[in-house]
Amino acid sequence: MTVKSTGTSAGGDGAARKAGRASRMIATEEACSIPEVAERLGQLSRSTWDSLDIKLVGSIYNAPPDDPNPLLPQLLDIGAGRLETMDESGVDMHLLSLTAPGVQMFDADTAAALATLANDRLAEAVTAHPTRFAALATCAPQDPRRAVREMERAVGTLGMHGFMINSHTGNEYLDQQKYWPILEAAEALNAPIYIHPRAPSDGMAAPFRDYRLDAAVWGYGIEVGTHAVRLMMSGVLDRFENLKIVLGHMGEAVPFWLWRLDYMGRPGRQGRTQKLRASEYFARNFAITTSGVEDPLALRYCIDRIGVDSIMWAIDHPYQPTPPAAEWIHAAPLTDEEREKICHGNAERIFGIEAVSA
């Protein structure tokens, strides 16, 4: 089954957009789950494991029956309710992905089986609503060989548009050689890897245990920003020159650090062996989305610093509400060309989502 994701205007009626609105709205970091993964995460949250991720996992998947977390039904809804929310704000398409921490906290066998199941379910959702949904695949980095096979199936058979990896796996990062087959497969398939946050790995977790710094308020950005910097400073991107990495949340602050990364981490300084400066890797190998950062000043900085062709709009549904995210991008001080690229053109090009006629 090969799925072709296209798209129409929200609601399928082709109604003209209001002034300042893009002709198409593709949201590129939109979370979902399936019951089997949710059940397993609930079981995990009842264990004695003290992983920093357990706080959030437990609050969603192990909430008291008399006080359920409203996020869970929204994550499990990849049908009518989600479409209604999209229609209310004029969102044409969600690029779906299995929500963090994905399958990366399970043993390898469980993770691989659930990755396959989740990809099949997301492909079914795209088949049911091919003009409204596209999808990123999940894989189990715990077993890189099986991960590569699933990546190839997800793109080649299911027609998915890239891969969602939730930062570290077992406190390890993608620059480490054991994970290079995953990078090689993504490059060969011409399909981006979206590195999504999870709580900081055990080696950096201690300061984040206080004040609920573990999650989106601070820990998530620090975790993924660190992951991205490791990929640049390790020189692994010298080997995978055509690999595309996507970072959410306005680039997890990395764009704002590029000058200092270039200066303090330049090739040759302190024995560094990577070939390029950080800003050169970022320009060649990275793109970002706006998910969860509705700040026009940050957006303008990123446009000026890394270029409008590397930026895509996202909501971060259901963790961020849809109406403010849509209203923000409509009101942002952008040229018409910038808005069209950020709202759909770049997603079509970077993720290989089929463009539609105006």
Provide the annotated active-site residues: 316
Note the Cα 248 to chain centre separation in Å: 6
Tokens matching residue 260:
């200092």
Distant-in-sequence, close-in-space partners of 66: CB < 8 Å, separation ≥ 6: none
Could you give the dihedral angle defined by the CA atoms of residues 137, 308, 321 and 5, in that order, rounded to the nearest 10 degrees? -40
CA distance 281 to 125: 35
Comparing CA positions, the residue from 75, 112, 114 lying closest to residue 96 is 75
- Alpha helix ranges (H) inside the chain: 35-45, 54-61, 71-76, 80-88, 108-128, 144-156, 180-189, 219-233, 236-239, 254-264, 278-285, 296-306, 322-331, 336-340, 346-351
Return d(Cα 190, Cα 188) in angstroms, integer: 5
Tokens representing residue 137 in the block: 């695949």
Place of tokens 């320009």: 283
| 137: amino acid identity, one letter | A
Structure tokens that stand for 232 in this block: 């640049």
Burial string for 50-74 (b: 16+ CB within 10 Å, else e) reads: ebbbbebbbebbebeeeeeeebbeb
Measured torsion, CA atoms of residues 70, 74, 76, 78, in degrees rounded to the nearest 10? 170
User: CB atoms < 10 A from the CB of 6, how many?
Assistant: 14
Cα(214)–Cα(59) distance, integer angstroms:
13
H or E segment and range at residue 64: none
